[in-house]
Amino acid sequence: MKSAISSLISSRNFNLHRSSLSFSIFRRPSLLLPSQFPVISTDDKATGANFTSLRRKCRFHSTKSSPIMASSFNPEQARSPPAVPLPIPPVTKFKIGLCQLTVTPDKQRNIEHARKAIEEAVEKGAQLVVLPEIWNGPYSNDSFPVYAEDIEAGGDASPSTAMLSEVSRRLKVTIVGGSIAERSGDKLYNACCIFGTDGKLKAKHRKIHLFDIDIPGKITFIESKTLTAGQTPTVVDTEVGRIGIGICYDIRFQELAMIYAARGAHLICYPGAFNMTTGPLHWELLQRARAADNQLYVATCSPARDVGAGYVAWGHSTLVGPFGEVLATTEHDEAIIIAEIDYSLIELRRTNLPLLKQKRGDLYQLVDVERLKSE
C-alpha cells in the first residue's frame, strides 16, 4: 500500500514538474531563431538612413536587456577604453567579391591575372574586392625576398600595389589587396594594402602573428625566418564601412578580432592561405567563431589549390555573417565569389542576442593598448 501511494505521489510530482516546464518553454518570450528574424528590406542604393531606422525599430527589443546586469556587472568596463558605438556605414547593403586565384612563379602573370579578376568581380556588381594572401608569387621563405616590393616607394618599386591603385581608381572600387611580401629597409613583412575608390592607399596592415608551426609528419613552416611581425592592429574607414584587417594566422587570435569589434568594425577581412593539415580542421571553424563571438561579418580569401606547389593552400574562400552563418563559400579551385553584405543584420543580431550588454566587466577586461596610449 505504501509503495503504491509513494508511486502515485512521485508520478504526480513528475507531472507537475513537466507541466511547469512546458509552460516555461511555450509561454515565455524566447530568443528569436534565425528563421524568425524580421526581414528588413533595403535596396542596393541604401544608405545609413536604413541603418538608423532599423536601430530605432529594434530598440524596443533591448529595453528589457537588464539594467540590473549593466549596473551590477559593468559591461562597459569589459573594454578599456570602452567600446565605441557601431558607426553608421556609408552603405547598408552591397556586394563583396572574393577572388580565389591561382598563383604561379610568374610575377607579371600573377599581377595581370589579379587585375582581370578584380575587373570581373566589379562587372558582377562587387563594390568591395578581396584578394588572397601572397598572391603575386609563391608562398615560401625562399620566395619572399625575391618577390618583395617597396610599397612606400610605389611605382616601379611596387608593381603589385601600383596595379591595385590604378584599377581601384579606374573602376571606383574598394580593394583589400590580399597580401604581398613588403621590403622596408632591411626587413621583410607580409603586408596587406587597402585602396579606396580614388586609388589612394587608405591603410596598410603588416601581419601581426607570424606563422611559426611544427606539426611532425604534417607541416613545418617558420615564417619568422624571413619575415618581421607587424606591430599595429588595422581598422580603416572605407566607402563600404569600417573594416578590420588580419592576415591568415592573425585569425587564430581572438583578442585582435575583439579589438576590431570594440573599435566599431562592421567587417573583418582575412586574406589567408591555410594549408592541407589545418585547413580542413580550422579554416571555417575560426571564421565562424570570430564572426559569432563579435557579431560582425568576416570575409576570407585564399589562393586556389596547386598540388604541385611547395606550399599547398586549402582554398575555400568564405563570407560569414554576424550570426556565424556561412553566407557564401567555394571549394579549392580558382573562383570569384560574389555575395551580399547587409550591415543592418549586425544591429539585429546584437539586439536579439545582446552580448555587449552582458559582458562581465567586474570579472575580466580586454585592454586595447594602442588605443589607450593614443587617448
Domain ranges, ordered by start, for the chain: 91-373
Q: Does 151 have pLDDT greater than 50?
A: yes
CA–CA gap between residue 68 and residue 83 (Å, rounded): 20
- The residues that bridge with 100 in the sheet, in sequence order, are 335
3-state secondary structure 188-252: EEEEEEEECCCCCEEEEEECCCCCEEEECCCEEEEHHHCCCCCCCCEEEEECCEEEEECCHHHHH
Summarize the confidence of residues 271-282 as an average pLDDT.
97
Q: Does 81 have pLDDT greater than 60?
A: yes
Query: Phi first, then psi: what are they for 100, rounded to 5°?
Result: -85, 105
- Give the residue carrying C-alpha cell 591603410: 203
206 contacts 216 by C-beta, under 8 angstroms: no
User: In what side-by-side order are the strands of the sheet with 234-238?
Assistant: 234-238, 241-245, 267-271, 297-301, 318-320, 326-329
Instruction: Render pLDDT for 10-65 as a digit per residue (tens, 0 to 9).
Output: 443 333 333 333 333 233 333 334 333 333 333 444 445 455 554 444 443 444 44
DSSP tag of 155: G
CA–CA gap between residue 281 and residue 269 (Å, rounded): 20
C-alpha cell at 256: 585582435
**For 229, left (φ over 0), alpha (ψ -120 to 50), or beta?**
beta
Summarize the confidence of residues 253-277 as an average pLDDT.
98
Q: Give pLDDT, residue 72.
A: 81
Summarize the confidence of residues 228-246 as an average pLDDT.
98
Q: Give pLDDT, residue 346.
A: 98
Q: Does 154 have pLDDT greater than 60?
A: yes
- Confidence class for position 103, pLDDT limits 50, 70, 90: very high
Instruction: Render pLDDT for 324-373 as a digit per residue (tens, 0 to 9).
Output: 999 999 999 999 999 999 999 999 999 999 999 999 999 999 999 999 99
Q: Give pLDDT, residue 368.
A: 97
Q: Of 95, 207, 269, 301, which residue is the catalytic one?
A: 207
Q: Give pLDDT, residue 15.
A: 35
Q: Give pLDDT, residue 375.
A: 81
Q: Of 133, 223, 284, 347, which residue is the catalytic one?
A: 133
CATH fold for domain 91-373: Nitrilase/N-carbamoyl-D-aminoacid amidohydrolase (3.60.110)
Summarize the confidence of residues 257-282 as an average pLDDT.
98
pTM equals 0.82
Q: Of 99, 192, 248, 301, which residue is the catalytic one?
A: 248
Stated length of the chain: 375
Identify whether 207 is a catalytic site residue: yes
- Confidence class for position 69, pLDDT limits 50, 70, 90: low
Q: Give pLDDT, residue 124.
A: 98
236 contacts 194 by C-beta, under 8 angstroms: yes
Lowest mean pLDDT among 12-16, 160-164, 211-215: 12-16
Identify whether 116 is a catalytic site residue: no
134 contacts 182 by C-beta, under 8 angstroms: no
Summarize the confidence of residues 107-118 as an average pLDDT.
98
Identify whether 192 is a catalytic site residue: no
Q: Give pLDDT, residue 70.
A: 56
CA–CA gap between residue 334 and residue 104 (Å, rounded): 13
CA–CA gap between residue 257 and residue 245 (Å, rounded): 9
Mean pLDDT, rounded, of the chain: 87
DSSP tag of 28: S
Check residues 8 and 140 and name the one with the higher pLDDT.
Answer: 140
